Structure formats: C-alpha cells, structure tokens
Amino acid sequence: MTTFSPIHVIGGGLAGSEAAWQIAEAGVPVVLHEMRPIRMTDAHKTDGLAELVCSNSFRSDEWETNAVGLLHAEMRRMGSLILAAGDLHKLPAGGALAVDRDGFSAEVTERLAAHPLVTIAREEVAGLPPADWDSVIVATGPLTSPALSEAVRALTGEGELAFFDAIAPVMHLDSIDQTIVWRQSRYDKAGPGGTGADYLNCPMSKEEYEAFIDALLAGEKTSFKEWEASTPYFDGCLPVEVMAERGRDTLRFGPMKPVGLTDPRTGRRPYAVVQLRQDNAHGTLWNMVGFQTKLKHGEQARVFRMIPGLAEAEFARLGGLHRNTFLNSPKLLDGALRLKAAPWLRFAGQITGVEGYVESAAIGLLAGRFAAAERKGESLRPPPPTTALGALLSHITGGHLLDAGSASFQPMNINYGLLPPLETAPVAGAEGRKLKGKERGTEKKRLMSRRALSDLDAWLAQAAHASPVMAGLDPAIRGQTR
C-alpha cells in the first residue's frame, strides 16, 4: 500500500495522460481531472483521453536523422504510454507513425482507468486548485477553459500568458548563405546585451522586392477556423501577407524597412531588407522578424526561399497564427517545470510553449517524473541537453533568448537546432569518403542522434540511483510545497 498523498493533473490530453501514467508507474497516486464530456473545447469531439484533434500522425518515426523520430525513441525508452498506445494502434504510413485515432485514445483511456493508482475525475477545474492540492500539474493545452486560464493569468501577470500564437519561420544558421547576408543592427545600435551586429540582413533590390510581394499575394493561405476568427488579435501582429495586401510598400515601411543598414557588398542601403534574429542560446536558429504568416507550409518554403541569402534555407519551424494558450515559460518556469512564483504548480504540454502531439506528451512525461520524484523525496536531474527531451525542456525553461524582443517566445517543435552542436562537424562518412553538402547534414544528424541516445541511457542509469542534487534548480525553492 502506498502512503503518498495524490498528485493532481488537470487536463487528460496528450501531456496530462502521459504525466498521470508516469506518476502512477512511479508508485504515486494521481487524480486526473478532465472536463470532457461535461465541458467540451472548440476542437475536441469525444470524451476520450489523449484525443487527437486534427491529424492522426506523430510524424517521422526515423530516429537516426529525424528529431521527432529521436524523441519517439527516447520516450519509448522511458516507458511512454502515448508511444506504447501509438505503437499498438499504428497504421501504414511509410516512415511516419500514424495511428488509428479512436483505438489510440481508447487504449490510453483504458490503461489509465485500469491503473490502481489512477483516479479519473470528469470535472472542469474552473480556477486555481483548492488549497489542499499541494502538487499540481496543469496540462490543459491550447484550448484551456477560460476560467482556468484567467486564474493562471492572474497568477503569472498580464502579458505572460498568450491566447494566440503568431509564429514567424525559424531556420538553421548553417543553411543561410553568409556570402549574401551580413550582420548588423539598425544604426549599429548595441542596445542592452547586443553588439551592434546582432541581426542577419537579407538585402533586396526593387525588382526582387516586387517579385517577392507578387509571390506573397499569390501564395495559397490557410483559413482561420470559425472559432478562431473571433479572436481579437489581428492588429497587434498582422500576417505578413495581410500587410502586403494593404499596399505594395507597406512591408517596405514596416518589417522590411532598410533604414540604418548598409550592405557591405554595395556600400549602399538596399531597397528592402528581411532581418533575421537569433532565436536560441546556441545561436543555431534564427527567426524572420515580423514574418508571422498564414501561408500554407509548402508555399512558405517556396516564397521565402526567393529572399536573397535564403535560397537553400532549411526551416526548423514554419510560420502560423492560431488560437493557443501558452506561458512565457523561459521567464516563469524553473528547470523542473514549476512556476517559480508558486512551485507547487507545474505546467506540461502545449501550454508550456512546445508544439505538437509528441512534444506535448514529452513534456508531460518529464513533468510527471519530476512531480513523482519530488513526492517520494527523491531528486531527479533534468535529462542532458544533448537529448531531444533535454533540449526541448531547456528551450522552454531557458534556452530561448528572453531578451529577443516582445512576444519572441513562440511555440516550437523539436528540431536538431535545439540540441548543442557537435564538438567537431563530420567531414568524412563511415567509409572514409569526404562528405558533400546534404550528406554532411545527414551525418551530423546521425551523430547527434547517437549522442542523444547514449547520453539518455547514461542519465537513466544515473537516475536509477537517485542523485543528491536537482541540477539547475534554485535551492531556495527545491522541494518546497504549497
């Protein structure tokens, strides 16, 4: 018989179901509070736990050269319920892991319901949890019910919980043509923490600008869902193509204005400029400033590769605008996903600023493990940043650059740019032959994936003999409860 008091998980989606499973498997009782079917969201259709609201794909299952495939592999090693149910209900989909959505959700629901340490409570938590819940994980997702999101906002402060995302594309530094772009901040201003050469600038001539505007206007767009269209967010962050529709020069006087910039190749100010800003502490990812967009993903790649310097750009994230609910996690959460201001409250899933079913479940897995370890008086170091799990965790709890401008923290999928670069880049393949462009990129991913699994195994072995220090946590809040 267990003597621990229960941990409460709010939200039985991808993250909450995984968190509850990890807690129960660690021998700690858990109450999973899910509001469906009593209160539905705008996107969910059933009362099943871990319902997939749109596509039925967990994306690539290839662990050696695909970052989400690597995340699958790591989660399998950690006894993930979401991956186990996905594997049992998989459908033919080439290299992707696609699942039968009903069978998958039923499997997750049945396994949790059958677990002796899991209680499922069908109720909305419509405000801050009661005072006797001393360890809580909030995993209520992009469509968190308004009463709870208002309570969270009151706790975190105005402006720290977003109700929509406005995502500009992010690309890998090594895919940008550095013979065309140059580093410079407008008027060489250093600002707080800058050097005066903080942006990468892509110059455009008049002809290039006109052709780009034509392509933006003609590009195929995705439409807002009916329930998204009423979200009043447009004027603050217009999609780039909507700005272009307002006048051919709107962008040239907006995010593409060339003022304060001199192209070293010509010694002159270009006609227009696309600026890229560093997105992560490693400096491997760069985002397109002001380029939030509703263009279809294929169209984004095609249109944005017209920009000088970006012809070969590899995108780590493409742009979008959606109804969403997410915290400014790098500022608010500690390394174990606890709210710094109220450490009895953890967050997991999309509400922490990750994007996608698998990433949400991955953060649920870690939140569940952290909460269970804490309840048992054990300590658990975060997984190393060289693993996909560790990289995702450190991106949302600190890896993203906080001072990169207002609302700069936007939801992110797992990608190799979040992992620390290799100490030495591969030049030759296994058979000793010199590697060329794309081959070198593939080999790099392969080496990073192998490093990840080997580091994960070492971390798991170490975690089995609980370490004395929760690395990276503020000692003042370590082990603190409500």
Ligand X SMILES: Cc1cc2nc3c(=O)[nH]c(=O)nc-3n(C[C@H](O)[C@H](O)[C@H](O)COP(=O)(O)OP(=O)(O)OC[C@H]3O[C@@H](n4cnc5c(N)ncnc54)[C@H](O)[C@@H]3O)c2cc1C
Q: Name the site residues for ligand X (rule: CB under 6 A).
A: 10-16, 33-36, 41, 43-44, 53-55, 124-125, 139-145, 148, 349-351, 356-357, 360
Half-sphere exposure of 455 (CA within 13 A, CB side): 20
Minimum distance, C-beta of residue 211 to ligand X, in the bound complex (Å):
33
| CB of 242 vs ligand X, minimal distance in Å | 21
DSSP 31: E
- To 10 degrees, the CA torsion angle through 215, 220, 224, 230? 40
**Count of Cβ atoms closer than 10 Å to residue 190 Cβ:** 11
Q: Please say which residue, 212 or 357, places its beta carbon nearer to ligand X.
A: 357
Distance between CA atoms of residues 252 and 442, nearest Å: 37
Kindly tell me the burial class for residue 374, based on how many C-beta atoms sit within 10 Å of its own C-beta (0-12, 13-18, 19 or more): buried
Bridge partners, 198 (sequence order): none
Query: 71 vs 240, which CB is nearer to ligand X?
Result: 71
Q: How many CB atoms lie within 10 A of CB 97?
A: 21
Tell the smallest beta-carbon distance from residue 156 to ligand X (Å): 16
If the CB atoms of residues 34 and 74 are measured against ligand X, the closer one turns out to be 34
Question: Whose Cβ is closer to ligand X: residue 109's or residue 201's?
Answer: 109
Using N-to-C axis directions, what is the helix angle for 101-114 and 81-88, rounded to 10°?
130
Q: Report CA Rg, the chain.
A: 23
State whether residue 117 is helix, strand or coil. coil
360: three-class secondary structure by DSSP: helix
The residue among 19 and 117 lying less far from ligand X, judged by its C-beta, is: 19
Question: Smallest gap, in angstroms, from Cβ of residue 449 to ligand X?
Answer: 20
* Contact present, 399 and 282 (Cβ < 8 Å): yes
Kindly state the smallest distance separating residue 71's Cβ from ligand X, in Å: 12
Among 157, 164, 121, which Cα is nearest to 142's? 164
Q: How far is CA 363 from CA 33, 338, 354, 386, 424, in A?
A: 18, 12, 8, 16, 30
- Least Cβ distance, residue 133 to ligand X (angstroms): 13
Q: State the nearest-atom distance from the C-beta of 327 to ligand X, in Å.
A: 12
Tokens representing 179 are 């013979």
For residue 234, the minimal CB distance to ligand X (Å) is 18
- Residue 46 or 250: the one with the smaller Cβ distance to ligand X is 46
Shortest distance, CB of residue 344 to ligand X, whole angstroms? 17
Residue in this structure with the two tokens 């970052």, named with its chain if needed = 67
Q: Which of 417, 437, 415 is nearest to 426 (CA)?
A: 437
Q: Which C-beta is closer to ligand X: that of 243 or that of 351?
A: 351
Is 212 in contact with 306 (CB distance < 8 Å)? yes
